[in-house]
Amino acid sequence: MNNRLVAVVGRPNVGKSTFFNRVAGKRISITLDMPGVTRDRIYADCEWCGHTFTMIDTGGIEIKSEDTMWKHIRRQAEIAVDIADVIVFVVDGKQGIVNDDFRIATLLRHTRKPVILAVNKLDNPHDHPYDFYELGLGEPYGVSAEHNKGVADVLDAVVDSFKQIDATETDSEEGLKIAVVGKPNAGKSSLVNKLLGSERTIVSDIAGTTRDSIDSVLRLNGKTYTLIDTAGMRKQKAVDEDVEYYSVMRALASVRRADVVLIVIDAQMGITEQDIKIAGYVHEQGKPSVIVMNKWDTIEKDTHTILQFDKTLANSLKFMEYYRAVYVSALTGKRVEKILNEAELVYANNCRRISTGTLNDVIADLLAVNEPPTKNGRRLKIYYTTQTDVCQPTFVMFVNDETLMHFSYRRYIENGLRKAFDFSGTPIKLVLRNKTDQDAL
């Protein structure tokens, strides 16, 4: 299941940030009784009933205001709504319905996305939000974010919306969803066009041509792929236009909904700091990926050229040593056919499940070769390990004291798992759980 995006929207000063902070479990957004405090989108990773999602707090929407600040805030909120899967519309239960609530409700209906109506500031348990049925958004949920009343009901409704979205996506024929990301002018659109065999996206040598994420369906050898061409991701300080900022946010959202990510790098320029940041974002999202070194036809080569590039990649991408790379030319089509094979391979590795018995046999061998470290006279004991999830492969290790696990020994375990099983091209996650009174392996 993809990590869903939930946008919290509404007029100024209705308690959006208080609701956001309550769900996030910590005070992230500034909450003051003054409109306009939250100017840009703020994100927090949240969890409810086993469902993980990212919640986006937004500034208050002033529909008619032409003030520069309010126009900027409104634009940022519109971006959040556009990239979100589910929208929580917060209104003020004490003040009641105002005209801007009707206007915002109309805008949200046009998105055709699930909208959960949260009527905030109903601190009295006898208060009811019945009047808010007039907004035409279905059942209103009475909430007091400040006192944590009714928040669980809103989150239950959000999770139910996730289930409906998942069922719809399961029935669709999107096939393997492959996002193509990278800096501007790295050749992403040319690569997508070459894979499709047709000019489906705009190709130009002017950076920033692709302003939005574009989905194209490719059927090849009985398989279906959805190629998601995205806008180039510039450094944050270089993103000034609202339109371009919107495009970058759409690109990041495309990474979240993709099954596999192609990280396209301009071989002429070599790997840059921005390329590393993009790869880091993909890694943090737990997505399998393929490094695509494009424009390989422009590089003067000898027998050591690829080895030199591989060495540079290895030094630059130490945080994702599992990476797989292909060297292609979107212009000539050389080696482009290998990309889909690599995407299939890394996705299969991302979905790989290891039986508990086999997994613990490997862990036992690793412990025998290099026993766990000690700290303050206490030795780490690993009792048993089980795989709890795929896509991203997640392993839970039950230990006597998780604080005894040094990061170097954690890396040793991860490298051992990678040697025993093919997890190339995909990140894996190790989770420690304390468990006492058990026999160690």
Superfamily of domain 356-434: K homology (KH) domain (3.30.300.20)
Q: Which CATH architecture has domain 4-171?
A: 3-Layer(aba) Sandwich (3.40)
Domain ranges of the chain: 4-171, 176-350, 356-434
Closest by CA position to 42, among listed 22, 31, 52, 28: 28
pLDDT score at 304: 87
Q: CB within 8 A of 316, min separation 6: which ones?
A: 271, 275, 276
C-alpha dihedral (264, 269, 273, 278), degrees to nearest 10: -10
- Residue given tokens 């990061």 in the structure block: 407
pLDDT score at 437: 45
Three-state DSSP at 417 gives helix
- Alpha carbons 377 and 375: distance in angstroms, whole number: 5
Diameter over CA atoms, the chain: 79
pLDDT score at 33: 47
What is the tens place of the pLDDT at every residue in 421-433?
Answer: 999 999 999 999 9
Answer yes or no: are the C-beta atoms of 113 and 84 closer than 8 Å: yes
Edge-to-edge order in the sheet of strand 429-434? 382-389, 394-399, 429-434
Do domains 4-171 and 176-350 share one topology? The answer is yes
Q: Which CATH architecture has domain 176-350?
A: 3-Layer(aba) Sandwich (3.40)
- Residue given tokens 């508990």 in the structure block: 356
pLDDT score at 257: 82
pLDDT score at 139: 92
Q: Which stretches in the chain have pLDDT values below 50?
A: 1, 28-41, 171, 202-204, 206-212, 238-244, 437-441
Measured CA distances, 13 to 38, 145, 354 (Å): 10, 13, 50
- Alpha carbons 373 and 352: distance in angstroms, whole number: 29
pLDDT score at 250: 66
pLDDT score at 79: 74
Answer yes or no: are the C-beta atoms of 41 and 75 closer than 8 Å: no
Burial of 290 by CB count in 10 Å (0-12 exposed, 13-18 middle, 19+ buried)?
A: buried
What is the tens place of the pLDDT at every residue in 401-410?
Answer: 999 999 999 9
Structure tokens at 135: 């907004």
Q: CB within 8 A of 331, min separation 6: which ones?
A: 187, 190, 295, 297
